A and B are shown apart, each in its own frame.
Chain A
Amino acid sequence: MKVKFIVALIMTIFVLGGCAMNNDKESKSSSANEAKEFPDVAAFEDEFTREFLESTQPTREGYYSFLSKTGAYKMDFPEGMKINDKSYSIDPDKNSEVVIFSSQNSNGTFIDHHVEYYSFINDPQHGRDQIEGRVGVEIKFEEVPSNYDQKLEIAEYEYENSSGIVSLITKDGVDGQIQTFSSLRCSNDVEENVCKQQIEDEKAEIKKWLKSIHLISKESE
């Protein structure tokens, strides 16, 4: 029986040829070498964050082009920040994606951005309610002009030791929406007045940054 087994195997091998097993992974050259070619900023130093960045050419000073893994949106990514792979999540059917990124070294202000995409939430009112629910204080959304053909609504809130800016991005004719949450806080050693000023400056910068987030309509892909 054993002999037959082997004969059958050998016979079949010629039929099969070499068609089996061809998913060799592309061999990656050592990342240490590659890293040298990247801009010397926190975003590119982190391997996980790098996976999202489309180009080493900045889109404007301090920002690089980011493409979400769902392919649902693009935005400018701040060079001094890093995506936390532990809290990153994307569902298997690419219907939702949560990206959380934080400042790495700071001049006294620390920022966390949460950019969350949901393909199944369409109603802007639902989005606004959810955002308000999650920040837990009453907020007022204001529509601001966006760089793209979409609707950008922004609201601000204050906690005792930190402040935040949230936004909702929707687009007529495109399913889904983006909800963003940015929180800002000063380190303990910063004086209150200085902190206030820094936060104000950063807020202005964040408002500018929010305009770079844009939903990609599936048709235009």
Chain B
Amino acid sequence: MSEDIISGSEFKTRLIDLGYKDLSLKELELNIRQIYMEENGELLEADIEILKSSDIESDFVKDSGYDGIAIHINTVEKEEVYVISEGTQDLPDWLYNIKAMLAGQTIKQAQATDVFVQEAKEHFNVDDNVKVNGLSHSLAHNNNTIALLSFDNVYSVNGAQLNYYQLFNTDFRFNDAVKNEFSFNTDDEVYNLSPQDLHDFAMTYYGDKADKIDQVISTDDPLYAVSVVRGFFTLGSITMVDTNPDVPGLRELIADIPDDVIKDFQELAIDFAVASNQGGTNEGIKELIGIDVGAFKDKEGMELAGHIIANYDTMVRALNEKLPPLLDRVQTVTANSDEIFGSLEEAGYITERQKEVTVDHLTRIEKSLIDIENILKDNVNLRDKLNNPFLGAGNEIVTILRLASNLVEIYMSYVEIEKTGILKRLESIKDSHGLQEMLSSMSDGLKSYIGADMIYTSTSTKGEPIKVNISAALRMYQKSIPILEAKSTKISNFEKAIKDELDESYKDEKRKVQDEIDQVESSPSSYRFLLSKHGYYPTFNKEIKSIRVHEIFYPLEDNDFDEQLEELKKSVESGKLYIEKYRQAIEDLFEEEENVSQLFDLSRRI
């Protein structure tokens, strides 16, 4: 089998990254051509057609939560389709998906992926012989591999792994094989099997699919770490990359902690991480307890009391809803906090002080949460007894006071935990799930990456190696020319305008005067009336025989813009010169065989 049009982990990862940017079809195409040129050192001689999932049926993306881009590349000799799946972007949907996936439930996203691939093939009018490659990050890996029937192969970065319970409910041949292997008859019995046996069976059963799946996973990726819990198996050819060499990765730490503890911690972490990803740490806390603690900040005394009172109703409602599940999970975490935070400390994720303060304050938070739960319970019970929502002010005062003091305690504990900087430390864990940290650790000889840009490192000079952002340099080179050309056009427009408005109109006016003169000179008789002031009586018989005009046209002054125009033209020239010098300077840093010069030339032709 000949090589795919798009090959190499770096290229694929950059392409997946492209999917997250909100680009128009034209921009997408240009970016694809640009990355191809940067990675391969040649132009992509092919037709490119692109379909976004948002461009198919109106409700598809909204209802399915599927977000993806299909790219049809046709080089005449070869035709391929690439589908970049972003999984879900909508927050509640993401949460639903990851939780349902952890429980081995959802296949909705896989079904949606499949629909999109089919739609894309119809749209591009390609048949089943055209290879369809899946590119995915995070949750989308799970969807793409479940929907593997739609894909000839799947390449993923930091993917959410396959879950064998999920496959048991999706793939009926596997379902049948599991029942045969373990001699049971109905679906619900699958949960009684030993997870290890099921894991091993799934690995063997899907073994032949493994060569269709290529995965690059960061050892520091939190999603990889949590896939150690029951249900998951890692299929395909896997390349592990240590994207954050400062820490050993979470998976080993997690392997030591019991399954159900992980599940609780996981849910806490997912809620927190996803919410704080969207709106910062305060949003993360709000997601957990339903209360915007950020609003407490910088308030004290009366102001704080006022705030609590003003939001009392909303707070109690939110607490009532969020508290019971939160308390359950917090209790699992506090019961195991020495293990969890101890191993985080050991591994260097957090400091000893951070550990101590956090464990101490988590216990206090737990105590406050239990208190709040009891208060709410008492309150509800009392209402039931009295059968009266207006409980009497006395009781409400006590309730409010007790709730408020507990909320303040929780907030204070939160502030203490935050002060240690532990949350910031833990946030770096999240970066290890992203594409950019992965790209940054991918390097090949002189090539490396920062963000999604390609970097060349020059070693030809003495001293420290020089890193050059080639993507940025090419962008600048590429974009400067159209800008300078536009400037050039403007200048010649200006030149023309001067000619039109001054020179031409001077000539025009002069011609008009000259015409008038000619007319006067050629028909002197028609000017006889000018003699009328000399009398009109009948004997009057004078006539005009000829008129001669002695004209003097003064030349147009102050119409010489040559100097200014020259200046402007020069600025374009010097701009071009500057850009070329800049190009030369970069080229000089690298050896000829590194083809930097060629990249500059090619970038102009995209």
* Contact call A9/B401, Cβ cutoff below 8 A: yes
A89 x B176 contact (CB < 8 A):
no
A41 at the interface (CB under 8 A from B): no
Q: Are B187 and A23 in contact (CB under 8 A)?
A: no
Query: How many Å lie between the Cα of A91 and that of B105 in the bound state?
Result: 11
A18 to B399, CA, bound (A): 11
CB–CB A4/B169 < 8 A: no
Within 8 A of A (CB), among B272-326: 301-302, 305-306, 309-310, 312-313, 316-317, 320-321
Query: A107 at interface (Cβ–Cβ under 8 A)?
Result: no
Beyond A18-B389, A21-B316, A21-B320, whether A185 also contacts B185 by CB under 8 A is yes
- In A123-150, the 8 Å CB interface with B consists of 123, 126, 129-130, 133-137
Tell whether, in the assembled complex, residue A19 and residue B313 are in contact, meaning their CB atoms are under 8 Å apart: yes
Q: Name the distance in Å between B409's Cβ and chain A's nearest Cβ.
A: 15
Nearest B residue to A179 via CB reads B111
Closest to B391 in A: A18
Write the nearest CB–CB distance from B29 to chain A, whole angstroms: 27
Q: Which of A68-117 contact B (CB under 8 A)?
A: 82, 84, 86-89, 91-93, 95-96, 98, 100, 102-103, 106, 110-112, 114
CB 8 Å contact bits of B103-118 with A (1 = contact, 0 = none): 1111110011011001
- Chain B residues positioned under 8 Å from A102 (CB to CB): 186-188
**Complex partner residue of B172 from A4, A123, A135, CB under 8 angstroms:** A135
Please report the C-alpha to C-alpha distance between residue A162 and residue B184 in the assembled complex, in whole angstroms.
12
- Inside 8 A of A110's CB, which chain B residues have their CB? 185-186
Chain B residues whose C-beta falls within 8 Å of the C-beta of A133 in the assembled complex: 114, 149-150
B463-487 near A? 1/0 per residue, CB < 8 Å: 0000000000000000000000000
Residue in contact with B169 in the complex, picked from A82, A98, A137, A185, CB distance below 8 Å = A98
The minimal Cβ–Cβ distance linking B67 to chain A, given in whole angstroms, is: 13
Determine whether B257 belongs to the interface, using a CB cutoff of 8 Å to chain A: no
In the complex formed, the residue of A with least CB distance to B314 is A20
Residues of B within 8 A of A27 (CB): 384
B384 x A120 contact (CB < 8 A): no
Taking a contact as CB atoms closer than 8 A, the residue among B59, B64, B105 that contacts A88 in the complex is B105
Contact A122 B57 (CB under 8 A): yes
- In which size bucket is the chain A interface? 35 or more
Given contacts A16-B313, A21-B317, contact A5 B302 (CB under 8 A): yes
Are B111 and A118 in touch, CB under 8 angstroms?
yes
A103–B401 CA distance with the chains assembled, in angstroms: 54
Residue of A nearest to B100 (CB): A89
Task: Tell whether, in the assembled complex, residue B172 and residue A185 are in contact, meaning their CB atoms are under 8 Å apart.
Answer: no
Which residues from chain A contact B564 at a C-beta distance below 8 Å? none
Q: Are B63 and A21 in contact (CB under 8 A)?
A: no
List chain B residues, Cβ under 8 A from A204.
none
**CB nearest to B395 among chain A residues:** A18
Residues of B within 8 A of A173 (CB): none
Known: A87-B105, A136-B173, A164-B172. A9 touches B186 (CB 8 A): no
A24 in contact with B63 given A1-B301, A5-B302, A187-B185 (CB within 8 Å)? no
Q: What separation, in Å, do the CA atoms of A122 and B64 have in the docked complex? A: 12
- Is B172 touching A183 in the complex (CB atoms < 8 A)? yes
Interface string of B154-167 (1 = CB under 8 A from A): 00000000000100
Whether, in the assembled complex, A156 has its beta carbon less than 8 Å from a beta carbon of chain B, the answer is no
- Contact size class for B? 35 or more
Chain A positions 9 through 33: 1 when the CB is less than 8 Å from some CB of chain B, otherwise 0: 1101110111111111001000000
Q: Is the CB of A84 within 8 A of B187?
A: yes
Residues in chain A near residue B363, CB distance under 8 A: none
Q: Once the chains bind, are A12 and B309 in contact (CB under 8 Å)? A: yes
Nearest B residue to A4, CB-CB = B302
B376 within 8 A of partner (CB): yes
Q: What residues of chain A lie closer than 8 Å to B383, measured between beta carbons?
A: 24
B residues near A100, Cβ cutoff 8 Å: 169, 187-188
A130 to chain B, nearest CB (A): 6
Q: Of all chain B residues, which has the CB nearest A16?
A: B312
Q: Which residue of B lies closest to A130 (CB)?
A: B114
CB of B126 to closest CB in A, whole Å: 15
Mark contacts of B66-98 with chain A using CB atoms, 8 A cut-off: 1 yes-contact digit, 0 otherwise.
100000000000000000000000001100100
Minimum Cβ distance to chain A for residue B485 (Å): 47
Q: Please tell me which one of the listed residues A95, A112, A130 contacts residue B64 in the complex, with CB atoms under 8 A apart.
A: A95
Contact B187 A136 (CB under 8 A): no
Q: A82-B188, A120-B63 are in contact. Are A93 and B397 (CB under 8 A)?
A: no
Shortest distance between the CB of B347 and any CB in chain A (Å): 33
| A residues apposed to B, CB below 8 Å | 1, 4-6, 8-10, 12-14, 16-24, 27, 82, 84, 86-89, 91-93, 95-96, 98, 100, 102-103, 106, 110-112, 114, 118-123, 126, 129-130, 133-137, 159-162, 164, 175, 181, 183, 185, 187-188
User: Nearest 10 CB-CB pairs, A to B?
Assistant: A18-B390, A102-B186, A110-B185, A120-B63, A89-B105, A120-B64, A136-B173, A133-B149, A96-B108, A84-B188
Would you list 9 pairs from A and B whose C-beta atoms are within 8 A, ordered by A residue?
A9-B309, A9-B397, A21-B317, A86-B188, A89-B100, A98-B169, A114-B169, A119-B63, A175-B59
With A84-B187, A162-B176 already in contact, 12 other A-B pairs whose C-beta atoms are closer than 8 Å: A9-B305, A86-B103, A88-B105, A89-B100, A91-B93, A91-B100, A93-B93, A98-B108, A120-B60, A120-B66, A137-B173, A188-B183
